[in-house]
Amino acid sequence: FTINADQARRVTALAQEKGLLLAEAIWPRYMPMAKTLREFAASDKIGKIHSLTANLGYPVYHRERLHDLTFASLILGDEVTEICSSASLSETGVDKFENIVLTYASGAQASIFSSVVCPTDRRGVIYGEKGYAEVGNVNNYEYLRIYDTDHQLLEETLCPPQVTGFEYELAACV
């Protein structure tokens, strides 16, 4: 959103003073599948959720950075109690790829991999007591597949048609 907390406070104060909308463009939070994922996370379809993995990688080192922390936040919330990370940095200090482990107040953990130098399968997997769920493309949710402990597919939800995905964020801002 900004480089540091002071900048965020200043930008927020200015937006409030001017009566303007201030938002970070985290487009996956606005997609219809985000609601489906939140409802799934609140359900008991795979029992208590203990962990998730997410990875997002595109060979776009020449472009601005991409992150997949939104997926973990959507499923496990924002009460992070511990963060462990390791990154491989470029000669300019930009992280080329990284592994992050987030531990939550609930005891759940998220294991996240992101990269700007190599492609990944972009999947997210949510692990619960009674099964697991797979999400296709954590950056633009394509499907949610729910499996039982015997790896049998129980349910599949596909992403509804969209133009680019950004139309949902635009509608929310309007």
Nearest to 111 by CA among 101, 126, 123: 101
List pLDDT tens digits, range 2-55. Answer: 878 999 999 999 999 999 988 887 788 888 899 999 999 999 999 999 999 999
Beta-bridge mates of residue 82: 103
Distance CA 30, CA 41 (A): 16
Q: Tell which residue, 135, 131, 126, 140, has the closest CA to residue 156.
A: 135
Tens-digit pLDDT profile for residues 60-110: 766 544 445 788 999 999 999 999 999 999 888 888 899 999 999 999 999
3-state DSSP assignment of residue 122? coil
